[in-house]
A and B are shown apart, each in its own frame.
Chain A
Amino acid sequence: MKLFMATGTHIASTEKKAEGTVQCWSCDTPFPAGSHFCPHCSKVQKPVAADYFSFFGLPRKLNIDVSALEKEFYRLSRKLHPDLFARATAEEQEWSLETSSRLNDAYRTLKDSIARTQYLLSLEGVQLEEQSKAATDRARQTGEEKKQVVPPDLLEEVFELNMQLQELRMSDEKEPEVIAQLETVKKNFEAKLQGLHFELKKLWDGWDQVISGEPQNNDSERLKVREQTVDMLNRRSYIRNLVRDVNEALQN
């Protein structure tokens, strides 16, 4: 029996914004779908599939007030955590477990700007290039070519870096000269990572403008910002992996 992971294991396609009106299971009060509690009797409601942004009642924007998000996370935790349902019905216990796990997942994703951006892109149907170490190892194991594209302007530097890394791995004794060179390269790439943050911030602003604007005029703009963000994230994860490789080589 073989195990296969379907491609695109993320939940993107099934996530929707909750719509319409539903009724409280306990007191029959109607309320807009997506609310975690009945506005009348405050009882916890059956969880509805919702994306992380709408879980917090937020628009799909990339600039988020993280301290406000934290406040809301604490507020909802105080109402949803399973500890508060230890004496409730089995059904309410299950809903509390389900909804508070969604709350934690949503908070964890949205509070981190990179995870948030990746998540938004997945909601947009973009499959991000997997740059993780797992993907590298997987590629190594299966002998497949990893679909990682070196950003063109980095080609030369990366080529040189790989030579240096090779040299370090081959030699029994660590040449101080090689180590010093690698340290310099590392600092250089770390500075690049810092720089990418400013670039990303610009893209977040661009995206948020698209979201707030008139929907009919901005399809092309939306696509453009999206593509740029994907590029930027790939570039970032590529450089991050380089820094990691250098760190590993220096430690060994």
Chain B
Amino acid sequence: MGRGLEDVWDELKLFPFRLSENLKPGEVLRIKLGEKEFTPPEISALILRQLKRNAERYFGKPVTQAVITVPAYFNDAQRQATKDAGRIAGLEVLRLVNEPTAASLAYGLDKNKEGIVAVYDLGGGTFDISILKLHEGIFEVIATNGDTHLGGDDLDNLLITIALDDIAGDMKLDLRHNAEAVQAIRKAVIDAKIELSAREETAISVDLPGGNQYQRKITRAQFEQLIEPIVQRTASPVRQALADAKLTAEQIDEVVLVGGSTRIPRVRALVKELFKREPHSELNPDEVVALGAAVQANILAGGSQATQDMLLLDVTPLSLGIEALGGVVAKIIHRNSTIPASATEHFTTGVEGQTNVAIHVLQGERELAKDCRSLARFDLKGVPPMPAGLPRIEVRFLIDANGILHVSAKEQRSGKEAEVEVKPTYGLTDEQVETMILESFDYAEEDFRQRQIVEARNEAETILLALEKGRRNAAWSELSDAERKDIAGAEAELKQAKDGEDYGLIRDSIEKLNQATTHLAELMMESAVGSALKGKDMRQLHAEGPAAPHPIAPAEIEN
């Protein structure tokens, strides 16, 4: 997300999916799935919508707001794309939290720590290093660095390339364009990679098209030798972050490991070399970030006893600049500035009567605009016509707590607010996002209603089934005639309601049948396990034990 065609060109052959054929340079990428095309934020929205559903299923009520974590070294475009994805998925994104920072929140809350903590976060696709100062509940990020294109995927891609070369050499089979075969190889090398964290040797075995089989043994030593150049790429961001924090490795009190790739023994060994101490690995590196996001959500919701003194002060990972004369970048907000951060600059016109001024905003550490990442071109419109050099346009750049840039402008001589038109370099325009939201919103409402009905129907089926069993139980004969009559009435009502489309009616009928069967359930319980579980109805009996609803909602699969 937030990338252009030129950024992903080299990896295209390893993707199990295809890009749209008629992409123009500078356009947001579109991925072709069957007949449909999706932008990366839309794909991300599909995942977020599924997570939203899982959460709704777990809580039994709609979830509308979320805290989403992002790699700390994400630039503005990538952050904006993540926020867009949230909006398309029907979530109000309350905050984007940097992943290592989120991890430190979970870690700090758990251990009630003080001091300087470094978080080394090597995940699937990105690497982050953040150095924080923990003091009386304030989590102050001092410096962050990273690489948004470095992670477990790079290790997988390396092993896949080797396997493909092997296959091409030994079997004279070119599978590079066979997406299915590449995917099968990917799965096999990932399994091997994981095994090598626990064992000294493993075997890769893949069934190939045409009845061939690819087999290869790999030892941990070989694996470590192969991945060394990739793993070493994390060293330089670590050194830079330490230098930016004006700290030496010895001054770091604790090192925390985050991200699945930190399970690799060689990665742990490198972290130990870099920081000259044993890193902490007792937290689950896959879950600690989500835990931290939950802590942040709690803080935003007003806090609780555990979080009331906690406050996160994060930084912007990349310097923000504007293109000045000669294509050089004038930095206006430096990297590692605590956010929200702002800068005010003044601009004027160069031509008599000029009413528009263009500002090219970039992010990055290099001196020339062409070496930095172009974020957007801001067009300041509606400058009152004046002789050249006379207007004094005050432009305010503000990076909010999500790390996202906002720009506002005012012509000071006339006091007129200038209209700011944003042309994102790699992102969707506001209009595009709005359209996607509208499309998904219509869909989501209908979807939610449908799902509620389906879930209520399932519950009805379960209760009716339980009632069938109850009728054959000895307890049935202990009920009075009136009770049996009530049950039969409620049963008939529910049977009819469940085939209809009225969600409320199905719910009410379930409730009625549950009440009518409370005594039956008690009697059944008594006969089965004594009187320990008195006072429960059919539904509760059903809800206990391994048959409890699973918190994962069924995936939505479109054909």
Residues in A lying within 8 Å of B, measured CB to CB: 1-6, 8-9, 11, 14, 74, 77-78, 81-84, 86-87, 97-98, 100-102, 104-105, 107-108, 133-134, 137-138, 141-142
**9 closest pairs, A vs B, by CB?**
A141-B326, A101-B340, A86-B300, A101-B342, A104-B338, A2-B350, A6-B348, A6-B346, A82-B401
Residues from chain A with a CB closer than 8 A to the CB of B368 are 137
Residues from chain B with a CB closer than 8 A to the CB of A138 are 324-326, 328
13 A–B contact pairs at CB < 8 A? A4-B325, A4-B348, A5-B330, A5-B347, A8-B346, A83-B95, A101-B339, A105-B337, A134-B331, A137-B328, A137-B367, A137-B368, A138-B328
CB distance from A122 to the nearest CB of B (A): 12
Residues from chain B with a CB closer than 8 A to the CB of A6 are 346-348, 389, 392
Cα separation A133 to B392 with both chains bound (whole Å): 27
The reply on B5 being an interface residue by CB < 8 A is: no
Residues from chain B with a CB closer than 8 A to the CB of A104 are 337-341
* Contact indicator B398/A83 (Cβ below 8 Å): no
Enumerate B378-414 residues with CB–CB distance to A below 8 Å.
Answer: 389, 392, 394, 398-401
The reply on B301 being an interface residue by CB < 8 A is: yes
* Contact indicator B346/A134 (Cβ below 8 Å): no
The reply on B227 being an interface residue by CB < 8 A is: no
Residues from chain B with a CB closer than 8 A to the CB of A74 are 135-136, 138
Residues from chain B with a CB closer than 8 A to the CB of A5 are 322, 324-325, 330, 345-347
Specify the chain B residue showing the minimal Cβ separation from A74.
B138
* Contact indicator A4/B347 (Cβ below 8 Å): yes
Enumerate B335-367 residues with CB–CB distance to A below 8 Å.
Answer: 337-351, 354, 356-360, 367
Residues from chain B with a CB closer than 8 A to the CB of A8 are 346
The reply on B312 being an interface residue by CB < 8 A is: yes
The reply on B313 being an interface residue by CB < 8 A is: yes
With known contacts A104-B337, A105-B341, A137–B311 Cβ distance under 8 A:
no
Specify the chain A residue showing the minimal Cβ separation from B348.
A6
With known contacts A74-B138, A82-B401, A3–B337 Cβ distance under 8 A:
no
10 further interface pairs, Cβ-Cβ under 8 Å (given A4-B348, A101-B341): A1-B358, A2-B351, A4-B325, A5-B347, A8-B346, A83-B401, A97-B340, A134-B331, A137-B326, A142-B326
CB distance from B14 to the nearest CB of A (A): 34
* Contact indicator B311/A77 (Cβ below 8 Å): yes
Residues from chain A with a CB closer than 8 A to the CB of B322 are 5
CB distance from B337 to the nearest CB of A (A): 6
Cα separation A53 to B513 with both chains bound (whole Å): 71
Interface size on B, residues (CB 8 A): 53
Specify the chain B residue showing the minimal Cβ separation from A3.
B358
Most buried by A among B312, B357, B401: B401
Specify the chain A residue showing the minimal Cβ separation from B356.
A1
Residues from chain B with a CB closer than 8 A to the CB of A107 are 338
* Contact indicator B350/A4 (Cβ below 8 Å): yes
The reply on B196 being an interface residue by CB < 8 A is: no
Number of A-B contacts (CB under 8 A): 116
* Contact indicator B324/A87 (Cβ below 8 Å): no
The reply on B25 being an interface residue by CB < 8 A is: no
Cα separation A8 to B344 with both chains bound (whole Å): 12
Specify the chain B residue showing the minimal Cβ separation from A5.
B324
CB distance from A225 to the nearest CB of B (A): 28
Residues from chain A with a CB closer than 8 A to the CB of B357 are 1, 3
Residues from chain B with a CB closer than 8 A to the CB of A14 are 394
The reply on B537 being an interface residue by CB < 8 A is: no
* Contact indicator B349/A4 (Cβ below 8 Å): yes
Residues from chain A with a CB closer than 8 A to the CB of B344 are 11
* Contact indicator A97/B328 (Cβ below 8 Å): no
With known contacts A4-B350, A5-B345, A100–B340 Cβ distance under 8 A:
yes
CB distance from A26 to the nearest CB of B (A): 19
Cα separation A87 to B349 with both chains bound (whole Å): 41
Cα separation A77 to B344 with both chains bound (whole Å): 21
With known contacts A74-B138, A134-B328, A134-B331, A83–B300 Cβ distance under 8 A:
yes
The reply on B94 being an interface residue by CB < 8 A is: yes
* Contact indicator B94/A86 (Cβ below 8 Å): yes
Residues from chain A with a CB closer than 8 A to the CB of B348 are 4, 6
Residues from chain B with a CB closer than 8 A to the CB of A98 are 342, 398
Most buried by A among B299, B326, B345: B326
CB distance from A250 to the nearest CB of B (A): 17
One digit per residue, 1 when the CB lies within 8 angstroms of any chain A CB and 0 when it does not, for chain B 117-141 equals 0000000000000000001101000
Specify the chain B residue showing the minimal Cβ separation from A108.
B337
Q: Which of A78, A101, A134 contacts B330 (CB 8 A)?
A: A134
Specify the chain B residue showing the minimal Cβ separation from A104.
B338
The reply on B323 being an interface residue by CB < 8 A is: yes
Residues from chain B with a CB closer than 8 A to the CB of A9 are 345-346
Residues from chain A with a CB closer than 8 A to the CB of B367 are 133-134, 137
